[in-house]
Structure 1
Amino acid sequence: MVEEWQATALEDGSSGFQDVTVPGRPAAFAGAEGVRYRTRFDDPRDPGDDVAVVELEGVYARAEVEATGERLDGDWVAEHDAYFEPLRIPFRPGEENELVVTCRAPGDRFGGIHDSELVPEELRVPGIWWDATIETCTLPTIDSLTVTPEVTEEGARLHVETTVLTDGPIDERITYSLRPEGDLNARGMMERESVEIDAAGKTTVEHTVEIRDPALWWPRELGRQHHYTLTAKLDGAEHSQKTGFCEVGFEDGQFRVNGEPLNVRGVNLLTDSPEDVDRALSVNANLLRAHAQVLPEAVYERCDEEGLLVWQDLPLTGPGGFDKDRGKYLARTLSRQYGAHPSLAAYGVHDDPVDAFASGLGSGFLDGLRLRWRAWRSDYDAALAEEVADAFPDTRPVFPVVGGPGVDGDAASHYPGWDYGDAADIDTLLERYPAAVVAEYGAGALPADADGAAADAAGFDAAKHDRRVPGNHEDSQAYQASLLQTISERLRADRVPAVAFSLRDTDTAGMGIFAHDGTPKASTETLARSFAPLQAFLADP
């Protein structure tokens, strides 16, 4: 319904618009601090429809939205500052309409990897990244349905928030029905909840559904991925949400899923394509870490279907303070928006708050002393991150800080063989700087077509690479593969959860085991062997 868009950069002083594709990240505006998008459309309503609803997904990072017509739930301009939460605006359009969306770069510390050097400028363009639609409906209607599952001693329950949109007072009932998906042989249910609304606009109604003997959702190597669908109906309108029941804990250095231990083998994700799920599965990973970014719904849906767990970070990375209240708000918003997904296994708050190894170290005696000196100076006060962590629900493990040697984080960011020392030093690092989880480790490698063209690649330190690998892309990939094998297998032998960095490059070279275009590097086969679910290791004599 909304197919033709134009855009212009705010700071170029020009009123000229050019055609762009939405959703997307127009490369023509790489480096822009703000981009204004517009589209024009006729009244989309059919006879009997009351309103139109604009829905924008992945609006990065801050946005103001204005359209022709009368807005039902407030005044124009609508503002938005959490890109992972869909923006829905109901309005009564005119015969001819214009929708204008002004997107700006982050104004605070919560831009995540897209406000860092980990991704190139063309992937940071402020815009509508995931989807843009206009739908029509009669009133009253169900505007949104939020479902948060919880496993209990008696069975399970669903915490439901139903947002109702109306043009005046109503006294109705919402009917909730729960049904199992696929060939799951489990009982469904139906309940009703009264809803009384005194004025036009949006009203949120809370409800709890109790479930006895639920079929649980399991990671792929532990069991089946059972799902349920909850449907809410109101006066002819309905809204559905797919979900599942899964209990995740972390105790004594081990993840437990539905009470069963799980040896975590993960990869960090800097990209956000559903195809990345297949890439992760191809190397036998059972967990994706959304590294200082929030993944779109399409990726979560694939993880739900495939039994792949997700460690979801807040979009917060690198040194610098941040607004605690803003962080807590984003934590609550994030957990509410994605809580329905049974694959969501853990949360993270602050990624790599200290950059002690921007210049790399070698493996000699003096460099070992320099490593200890830099680690000693890597002091970080985790109080703010811990307060933000408390805003997440207690039904999932939360790791307030992921950091390198000396940071004393809740999970480690260790790069032996890349930032310092050799790959085999991982044992010594963990003895001196203990961590229950190693959430980052790895080395950069050149894709086959990147020889001599990677010096300025985002997320790739060419100086560190050239110090380790003097040869071409074959030598580069061989070094990465050897390092990943050494660290992965030592961590697995010691039963330490291991999350390699990273799955796929964001630029012409990087730390990924896949190139940016999805071409596998040599390390994919190596990591797949090291991450095999059943693995035998020869212990050191």
Structure 2
Amino acid sequence: MTEEWVGGMVTDHGDGGPPTVEEWRPVSVPGRPAGFDDEGPIAYRTRFEDPRRDAEERALLECRGAYDRATFWINGARLGTNEPHFLPARLEFEPEPENELIVVCERPDSFAGIYETDEVPAHFGTPGIWWGVEIESRPAAFFRRVRARPRLGTNSDSKQSAGTAGATSTNASPDDAGAAIDVTLEIDAGEGVDDAVSLSLRPEGFRGGATMERIPVRVDAGQRTTVSKTLTIDEPSLWWPRGYGPQRRYTVRAKLGEEAVERTVGLRTVERDADGLLVNGRRVRARGFTRLPGGDPREDVDRAVDANATMLRARAHVPPREFYGACDDAGILVWQDLPATGTGSGSDFNLPIERGTELATALVEEYGRHPSLAMYGVYDRPMDPFAEPLGSGLLAKLALRYRVWRTSVDHGPATEIAESIPDDRPVVPTVGAPGTGADASHLALGWQYLEADDVDWLLETYPALHEVVGGFGAGSVATDDADPAAIPGIDPALLERRADDAETSQLDQARTLKTIAEALRRRSCGILTASTLRDSAPGGGMGVYTVDGEPKRAAEALARSFEPVQAVLDGPASPGTVGITLCNDTHDALEPIVGWRAGDSTETERVSVGPLETAAVGTVRIPKDAEQVDLEVAVDGRKIRNSYEL
């Protein structure tokens, strides 16, 4: 297909015909072109030749990521519409030797999510073809839809021994009930079919049994039919989050004549209780980052792995399929939000329930087969009681308690939408600040209110805040010449209050995130995501990586804080006596040697810590002239370091 596209603002939708565009100009597809009025419909046009090799074949258009309501025209005829953008449009058409395609993209009426906020550049929400268009030739009879959904047995008793019992790290379902993959095939017959579909199942990248089935198909020309088959696996190999086992998957292949389609799935269960997540009946610690749109999603997954993350939260937006493929490969759990947030200027506290339910259903349909998809979120930060920041000290704590007391949020619509989502994965109806009564907390210590060192006071005052943490962080600039007022998602006054230059702002960001992350780990927080993985624009932002993927100081700091086995200080690194806690997020009982150095003083201690537990190590005396405190854990032939600048 041609790579040459033009785009322009729609001035007239036309009376049954293609839209009118006043001026066409070259654009890149896929992409988010800047410079258009992103409030109005935008049309995109290209020309292409007949993709078929002979007249018996059929022409099919597939468009992914046409944001958000898309209407398709080919050769002046309206072909169809598609919504929402994360569901691919698949439309058949009768081609001519030379063809013209026009795609009209419009903003959604509701559920714009992160794109209606100032946390990403304005052009991120420009209606456009974000992910790609393919025009291809298909045989006369082809698979219009192939759906593969895995099912794995669960054991209600698994929670009683979630730390050590249950499935092994490679195979066996939690109750040894085996597994099944339900396959549904929709066949579009341009010519009569009296044949059989070959359906095979093979392990992907590991040894295991393969199976093959044949499903008879008989359908008249011009008709469609749907056939289903359940493939069973007696001794399944499971998909695990990174650090807890291998990422085993299976590929289902359906073949009819020359037509062949594959779907890759993973087998695992996900549950949530008061202590966090259970995957395949075993406790796992989910720690990681929120992620904003933009950039290569596969590279962002690599960055998360480098930072020792086990989870990424797609905050108030839906990423492309490449994101999920990368998370499946890497063993990264995904917390997938609906595109709903209360932080935008056009946000609506009264979520449209019917529309939210439709979007949730679409999410399950499109991404439900991915083993990395671990949980859903509905509504991000319905309101912010700390939009007017607080300082620090006793008066600020009193003011915070007052704002928490007076804040009230109606969670009814978000809860109703959450109840419509299938129960095979946990759902978090709301994420919000202290006082909003949200199901997961968003913490802004050291940024909007108080200091990072006040985290223990906050969590002791409001213990529920540490159960599930959907975001915490602080901003920083990438360079000294960055203009804070031009950085999306940054309040310039907050940044200027805390730092004068890039180096200081990045040090402050690193210290803030490290302090909060380690306080949450000391309290065995089961699910925590820092805000955010990568900046959305040049100059800086809330990310621990710049928009170009360069690590800031906070990236290394959190990578150390997120080490599965790590020693952390119990309080601020300042002259005096501070306790040390050993955190163990693994399934193994350990007896490492923990060492620490402050000034000229060095000590070591052998410590026993159980699986998924913490243990007190001792205390470090920090002299007044010390510049840094260093901790070290020696375990399994590896030395894991942590450090604190005074």
| Alignment counterpart, residue 446 of structure 1, candidates 473, 477, 486 | 477
Task: Please say if 1:409 is aligned against 2:438.
Answer: yes
Q: What is the alpha-carbon distance in structure 2 between the residues aligned to residue 20 and residue 79 of structure 1? A: 22
The equivalent residue for 1:167 is 190
The equivalent residue for 1:530 is 561
Q: What is the alpha-carbon distance in structure 1 between the residues aligned to residue 406 and residue 59 of structure 2? A: 57
Task: Please say if 1:512 is aligned against 2:543.
Answer: yes
Q: Deviations over 1:433-476 (max 9, x none)?
A: 3132111000000002543x12132111112222222x111110
| Alignment counterpart, residue 178 of structure 2, candidates 155, 167, 175 | 155
The equivalent residue for 1:39 is 46
Contact 1:144/1:239 (8 A) holds in 2:
no
Task: Please say if 1:127 is aligned against 2:128.
Answer: yes
Shift of 1:331: 0.8
Structure with a larger share of its residues in strand: 2
* One-letter amino acid of the counterpart of residue 191, structure 1: E
CA spacing shift, 1:347–1:79, aligned 2, 3 Å: same
Contact 1:418/1:442 (8 A) holds in 2:
yes
TM-score if structure 2 supplies the norm length? Answer: 0.79
SS of residue in 2 equivalent to 1:420: coil
Shift of 1:384: 1.6
Task: Please say if 1:289 is aligned against 2:290.
Answer: no
Contact 1:227/1:243 (8 A) holds in 2:
yes
The equivalent residue for 2:115 is 114
The equivalent residue for 1:462 is 492
SS of residue in 2 equivalent to 1:369: helix
The equivalent residue for 2:137 is 136
Shift of 1:334: 0.6
Shift of 1:372: 2.2
Q: Deviations over 1:347-380 (max 9, x none)?
A: 1111111122212111133332322232223312
Q: Deviations over 1:52-73 (max 9, x none)?
A: 1111111111111111388xxx
Shift of 1:35: 1.1
Shift of 1:198: 6.0
Q: What is the alpha-carbon distance in structure 1 between the residues aligned to residue 186 and residue 113 of structure 2? A: 29
Shift of 1:201: 5.8
Shift of 1:429: 2.6
| Alignment counterpart, residue 283 of structure 2, candidates 261, 264, 269 | 261
Q: Deviations over 1:286-338 (max 9, x none)?
A: 11111111111111111111111111111111152221111111111111111
SS of residue in 1 equivalent to 2:341: coil
Task: Please say if 1:331 is aligned against 2:360.
Answer: yes
CA spacing shift, 1:226–1:538, aligned 2, 3 Å: same
Q: Deviations over 1:366-401 (max 9, x none)?
A: 332322232223312222212211222211111111
Task: Please say if 1:68 is aligned against 2:68.
Answer: no
SS of residue in 1 equivalent to 2:43: strand
Task: Please say if 1:477 is aligned against 2:506.
Answer: yes
The equivalent residue for 2:594 is none
* One-letter amino acid of the counterpart of residue 521, structure 1: K
Task: Please say if 1:501 is aligned against 2:502.
Answer: no
Q: Deviations over 1:50-100 (max 9, x none)?
A: 211111111111111111388xxxxx3411121111111111112221111
Contact 2:59/2:95 (8 A) holds in 1:
yes
Q: What is the alpha-carbon distance in structure 1 between the residues aligned to residue 216 and residue 229 of structure 2? A: 10
* One-letter amino acid of the counterpart of residue 509, structure 2: Q
* One-letter amino acid of the counterpart of residue 204, structure 2: E
Q: What is the alpha-carbon distance in structure 2 between the residues aligned to residue 284 and residue 517 of structure 1? A: 20
Q: Deviations over 1:246-273 (max 9, x none)?
A: 2122112221222221122110000352
Q: What is the alpha-carbon distance in structure 1 between the residues aligned to residue 377 and residue 396 of structure 2? A: 31
TM-score if structure 1 supplies the norm length? Answer: 0.93
| Alignment counterpart, residue 376 of structure 1, candidates 384, 387, 405 | 405
Shift of 1:40: 1.1
* One-letter amino acid of the counterpart of residue 7, structure 1: G
Q: What is the alpha-carbon distance in structure 1 between the residues aligned to residue 195 and residue 406 of structure 2? A: 62
Please, which runs of 5 or more residues in structure 2 have no aligned partner? 13-19, 154-174, 571-577, 580-646
Shift of 1:14: 5.3
CA spacing shift, 1:474–1:49, aligned 2, 3 Å: farther
SS of residue in 1 equivalent to 2:540: coil
Structure 1 stretch displaced more, 48-57 or 28-37: 28-37
| Alignment counterpart, residue 428 of structure 2, candidates 394, 399, 422 | 399
Contact 1:148/1:160 (8 A) holds in 2:
yes
SS of residue in 2 equivalent to 1:250: strand
Q: Deviations over 1:214-233 (max 9, x none)?
A: 11111120111111100112
The equivalent residue for 1:103 is 105
Shift of 1:180: 0.7
Q: What is the alpha-carbon distance in structure 2 between the residues aligned to residue 417 and residue 527 of structure 1? A: 16
Q: What is the alpha-carbon distance in structure 2 between the residues aligned to residue 226 and residue 296 of structure 1? A: 22
Shift of 1:509: 2.0
Contact 2:484/2:495 (8 A) holds in 1:
no
Structure 1 stretch displaced more, 388-397 or 99-108: 388-397
Contact 2:250/2:264 (8 A) holds in 1:
yes
The equivalent residue for 2:457 is 428
Q: What is the alpha-carbon distance in structure 1 between the residues aligned to residue 233 and residue 451 of structure 2? A: 52
The equivalent residue for 1:5 is 5
| Alignment counterpart, residue 85 of structure 2, candidates 83, 86, 101 | 83
Contact 2:8/2:22 (8 A) holds in 1:
yes
SS of residue in 2 equivalent to 1:27: coil
Q: Deviations over 1:479-499 (max 9, x none)?
A: 000001100001011111221
* One-letter amino acid of the counterpart of residue 468, structure 1: R
The equivalent residue for 1:73 is none
Shift of 1:30: 5.9
| Alignment counterpart, residue 275 of structure 1, candidates 299, 315, 329 | 299
| Alignment counterpart, residue 362 of structure 1, candidates 360, 384, 391 | 391
Contact 1:50/1:92 (8 A) holds in 2:
no
**Structure ID, larger Rg:** 2
Contact 1:30/1:122 (8 A) holds in 2:
no
CA spacing shift, 1:509–1:204, aligned 2, 3 Å: farther
Q: What is the alpha-carbon distance in structure 1 between the residues aligned to residue 115 and residue 222 of structure 2? A: 38
Q: What is the identity percentage for the equivalent residue pairs of Structure 1 and Structure 2?
A: 42
**Cα RMSD over matched residues?**
2.1
Q: What is the alpha-carbon distance in structure 1 between the residues aligned to residue 501 and residue 223 of structure 2? A: 62
The equivalent residue for 2:160 is none
Q: What is the alpha-carbon distance in structure 1 between the residues aligned to residue 379 and residue 227 of structure 2? A: 33
Shift of 1:416: 1.0
Contact 1:416/1:423 (8 A) holds in 2:
yes
* One-letter amino acid of the counterpart of residue 486, structure 1: T
Q: What is the alpha-carbon distance in structure 2 between the residues aligned to residue 280 and residue 450 of structure 1? A: 28
Q: What is the alpha-carbon distance in structure 2 between the residues aligned to residue 150 and residue 69 of structure 1? A: 45
Task: Please say if 1:313 is aligned against 2:343.
Answer: no
Contact 2:469/2:529 (8 A) holds in 1:
yes
| Alignment counterpart, residue 186 of structure 1, candidates 196, 204, 208 | 208
Structure 1 stretch displaced more, 425-434 or 122-131: 425-434
Q: What is the alpha-carbon distance in structure 1 between the residues aligned to residue 181 and residue 79 of structure 2? A: 35
Contact 1:311/1:347 (8 A) holds in 2:
yes
| Alignment counterpart, residue 219 of structure 1, candidates 241, 255, 259 | 241
Q: Deviations over 1:400-448 (max 9, x none)?
A: 1111111111111111111111112223333343132111000000002
Shift of 1:130: 0.8
Contact 2:140/2:191 (8 A) holds in 1:
no
Q: What is the alpha-carbon distance in structure 2 between the residues aligned to residue 355 and residue 33 of structure 1? A: 29
CA spacing shift, 1:385–1:200, aligned 2, 3 Å: farther
Aligned residues: 532
